[in-house]
Amino acid sequence: MAKLGTVISLMDSPNTSKFAFVVNDDAVKLVRKGQFVEMQHETGTLVAAVNDIFRSNRYFERAESVAEYERAGMMSSHFPVNEWSYTIAECRIIGIFDGNALHRCSFPPAPGSEVVTVNEQMLEKYLGFRQNGLNIGKLLNHDVDVRLGLSKLFQKHVAILAMSGAGKSYLVSVLLEELLERKPEDGRIGVVVLDMHGEYANMRSACFPDRITVYDASKIRISTKNAQPEMFPFFHQLSGAQKRMLNAAFYEHKRKAALEHKFFTIKDLMIDIAGIDDKKAISTRDALLDHLDSLHKMKLFGKVDDPSVTALVKPGSISIISFKEIDSEKKKQLIVAYFARRLFNAIKKGKIPPFVLVVEEAHNFAAEGVKREEMLSKREIERIAREGRKFGASLCLITQRPVRLSTTALSQCNTHIILRVTNPYDIKHIGESSEGIDSYMLNSITTLKTGEALVVGEAVVQPVFVKVRKRKYEFNTGGVDLESLAREYEKKQAQKKEDVEAFL
Ligand SMILES: Nc1ncnc2c1ncn2[C@@H]1O[C@H](COP(=O)(O)OP(=O)(O)OP(=O)(O)O)[C@@H](O)[C@H]1O
Ligand SMILES: [Mg+2]
């Protein structure tokens, strides 16, 4: 335990939330922004974090005298300038540890108190890290593993917010490693990753191949029987008469299918509707058939769900659905909406174990300012956000545009992990939607390095800055840089030219 400095008396501090201390000359290298410190207090050990550090020197306070001395060239030779310099660290009080728990500070520390380095073994306790928690990395400035409790992190949902390239997907893969390594006695959950760019597919060959399954979303089939006409992408363009005709045919089929334990397809629906020969309804019928034909060609609706939700969610296993081969946003939203609904209904009925649904690019599936009818996935994601925790259905929402993410969904995420964000609108939004963030932390978000994160909310007693750990199982995410894309293009062009010349 090294001595760091002495608490000073200022106009507005020490009070019950902050204090400042003068840093001892020999401790200047030991005090860094963001680190934890402690001191003895009447009621226990007071724990605080360094918000900011200032340096001051009375010699340099008056511009005209500094200029005068500099001109005379006497400054450093005549005065012990360096000896007049001092460093002040401003701290926010986190709480007082009475031997059992951290309590709110209700009486300020005394000026003159000695500030010392924090006891790192105790720090884990102060911050509520769990031995069997998910280890996402080290506390910034300290040699302490950040272990977040599984329930604390996921039960009330988590949002990972950061600009592009700040390390969101990397952090997700670290979380996935931790989930895969959990022992059954610690509680294992199932994971479904909605992987928009096919980044996680290679994780399978790098670790636990028997517990990771990769699905190509373009090959997924949705059971027509379990669908609803509202899910069909064209539904909202239909006239009232068309909707009635579609609903009638659909629900008649569904009723029969349930009765006879059978399935039906879009083609079956089309055959039925084509059989309508009421003269007044012909134009309605034909328009509807056109729509259904395009839906049939989409090859998304089949007889049964493939994969089934029970195959998707297994304890300690990960299902990665790669949307790389799908271009249509509507189709992606449809698949997300369908599986989110099926998963939620299945867990409500106790058919599948607790799970977390990881949604990359969440702002495209639960967008703020878009009607729920126009984005079915939004309705389903918001439903899990609101009701999921009672049943063990959790969300991990990832976005590079927090402003565009549904506020209903974001506000239900009780833990926010924020990596670097520089967009002022996003920063403001994060400040408003993340509880316990102060202006100092908000400013720090803009200067985080790749892989550095601020964790706030349910999973931590106190907001903490974390250096996300390296992956244990490195794998290729399929990301390509601009240079290799450009080289690849030129190589292909040259090859083409050669081929043409050879042909001539
Ligand atoms: N904790 C870390 N340790 C080492 N490298 C990291 C870490 N976090 C991120 N990186 C590297 O930084 C790069 C960007 O990370 P990543 O792909 O996770 O960003 P992202 O936030 O998901 O970006 P996007 O919004 O574009 O999806 C990757 O090359 C990754 O390997
Ligand atoms: Mg990413």
pLDDT in tens, 197-219: 999 999 998 889 999 999 999 99
State whether 288 and 419 are in the same domain: no
| Residue 338 falls inside a structural domain | yes
Binding pocket residue ranges, ligand 1, CB within 6 Å? 162, 164-170, 400, 450-451, 468, 470
The per-residue pLDDT for range 275-321, each reduced to its tens digit, is 988 888 899 999 999 999 999 998 899 999 999 999 999 999 999 99
Atom index in ligand 1 nearest the CA of residue 170 equals 18
Is the bond preceding residue 184 a cis peptide, omega within 30 degrees? no
State whether 409 and 297 are in the same domain: no
State whether 240 and 264 are in the same domain: yes
Domain extent at residue 242? 225-301
Which residue, among 315, 314, 393, has the nearest Cα to 347 in the 3D structure? 393
State the average pLDDT for the chain. 92
Say what the pTM is.
0.90
What value does the mean pLDDT take over residues 47-51? 94
Going by CA atoms, what residue is nearest to atom 23 of ligand 1? Answer: 165
167 Cα–ligand 1 center, Å: 3
Residue from 169, 172, 397 to probe ligand 1 pocket by mutation (most atoms less than 8 Å from CB): 169
State whether 199 and 257 are in the same domain: no
The strands making up 355-359's β-sheet, listed across from edge to edge, are 145-148, 134-139, 464-468, 452-457, 415-418, 158-161, 393-399, 355-359, 190-195, 318-322, 212-216
Going by CA atoms, what residue is nearest to atom 16 of ligand 1? Answer: 167
User: pLDDT band at 76, cuts 50/70/90?
Assistant: low
| Residue 500 falls inside a structural domain | no
| Residue 499 falls inside a structural domain | no
| Residue 496 falls inside a structural domain | no
Secondary structure letter of residue 388 according to DSSP = G
| Residue 264 falls inside a structural domain | yes
State whether 193 and 107 are in the same domain: no
| pLDDT higher than threshold 90 for residue 464 | yes
State whether 214 and 241 are in the same domain: no
Surrounding ion ligand 2 within 5 Å at CB are 168-169
Catalogue the long-range contacts made by 9-17 (C-beta closer than 8 Å, 24 or more residues apart).
9/111, 13/108, 14/108, 14/109, 14/110, 14/111, 15/108, 16/93, 16/104, 16/105, 16/106, 16/107, 16/108, 17/92, 17/93, 17/105
> Which CATH number does the domain housing residue 374 bear?
3.40.50.300
479 Cα–ligand 2 center, Å: 10
Confidence at residue 499, expressed as pLDDT on a 0 to 100 scale = 86
**Helices 282-298 and 266-274: crossing angle, nearest 10°?**
160
State whether 275 and 328 are in the same domain: no
State whether 83 and 150 are in the same domain: no
State whether 76 and 187 are in the same domain: no
State whether 423 and 353 are in the same domain: yes
State whether 75 and 7 are in the same domain: yes
Rounded (10°) CA dihedral 69, 22, 32, 4: 130
Atom index in ligand 1 nearest the CA of residue 477 equals 17
The per-residue pLDDT for range 322-372, each reduced to its tens digit, is 999 999 998 999 999 999 999 999 999 999 999 999 999 999 999 999 988
Residue whose pair of structure tokens reads 């089929």 in the numeric block: 253
| Residue 487 falls inside a structural domain | no
State whether 448 and 395 are in the same domain: yes
Q: At which of 253, 274, 301 does a domain end?
A: 301
| pLDDT higher than threshold 70 for residue 36 | yes
| Residue 318 falls inside a structural domain | yes
